[in-house]
Amino acid sequence: MINALLIEDHAIVRMGMRLVIRELFQNATVLESEDFNEGLRIVQEKPIDLVVLDIHLPGGQDVKMIDMIKKARTTAKILVFSGLPEDKYALKYVQAGADGYLSKRSDPGMYGEAVSAVVNEKKYLSEVVRQQLVTQLPQNYNKIKRRKWIGLTDRELEISRLLIRGLWTKEIATQLELKLSTVSTFKKKIFQKCGVTSAIELSKIIDDVAATTC
């Protein structure tokens, strides 16, 4: 069972996505909001697992919306669902921390695939955007700030540095004045995003990268 939230100002779009989610997860609870501010309030108050987010809607704040949702509910997955050209906007939003980008112009058969991928801890981009990503990656990949490609937030990058230094979860919680459970959640997300299982493996990805600038 999942709790999903549709932040979308068009009723017909909400109806269609609601049907997609309930077809995948029969016991899903699907909440709806026509504007971003109300949607953010729901995320803050409810244990939302999945947010399907339009870009252009009342109260919208461009890519800032991604960080605001993640700060309000760190475990929530975000699938951006927009009619804007994916070749211009998809990477921008995924780099900002979204878990996927689905174009409203996509074949309806892709809707369920996108929702399922994001809910199951995977990134979702269309084949067109994946090819675009491969094409745009510079030859000197090791020199870029990989955080932009694997989706680490500033807080996740900060905790990554401490993990690499050998600090235990409890020590990190004390140093950053966070709850132990919060740090554990961050650690799990960092490992998932980077595709690693230990701080040693993590260091190979973050090393020589964390100090670079966007």
| Cβ-based neighbour number of residue 196 at 10 Å | 16
Q: Domain 141-206 is of which CATH architecture?
A: Orthogonal Bundle (1.10)
- Give the model's confidence band at 136: pLDDT under 50 very low, under 70 low, under 90 confident, else very high: low
Mean pLDDT of 116-125: 89
Whole-angstrom Cα distance, residue 128 to residue 77? Answer: 22
> What is the pLDDT at residue 88?
84
> What is the pLDDT at residue 126?
85
Is pLDDT of 59 > 70? yes
Average pLDDT of the residues of the chain: 84
CATH 3.40.50.2300 fits 3-134, yes or no: yes
In percent, how much of the chain has pLDDT > 90?
A: 51
Is pLDDT of 207 > 90? no
Q: What angle do CA 139, 145, 151 make, to 5 degrees?
A: 110
- 55, two tokens: 């870009």
- 66, two tokens: 């991604």
In percent, how much of the chain has pLDDT > 70?
A: 86
> What is the pLDDT at residue 204?
66
Question: DSSP secondary-structure letter at 73?
Answer: -
Is pLDDT of 73 > 50? yes
pTM assigned to the model: 0.64
Q: Where are the domains of the chain?
A: 3-134, 141-206
Whole-angstrom Cα distance, residue 156 to residue 101? Answer: 21
Question: DSSP secondary-structure letter at 124?
Answer: B
- 193, two tokens: 């995003």
Is pLDDT of 210 > 50? no
Helix (H), strand (E) counts: the chain: 11, 5
User: Strands 77-82 and 50-53: what pairing?
Assistant: parallel
Q: What is the pLDDT of residues 137-154, one digit of tens each?
A: 444 344 334 444 456 777
Region of 163 please: left (phi>0), alpha (psi -120 to 50) or beta.
alpha
Q: What is the pLDDT of residues 157-191, one digit of tens each?
A: 888 888 887 888 999 999 999 999 999 999 998 88
Residue with tokens 């779009």: 13
- Flag the least confident range among 27-41, 59-73, 91-105, 196-210: 196-210
Which SS3 state, helix, strand or coil, does residue 191 take? helix
Q: Which residues have a Cβ under 8 Å from the Cβ of 129 and sit 6 or more positions away?
A: 86, 87, 90, 91, 101
- Give the model's confidence band at 14: pLDDT under 50 very low, under 70 low, under 90 confident, else very high: very high
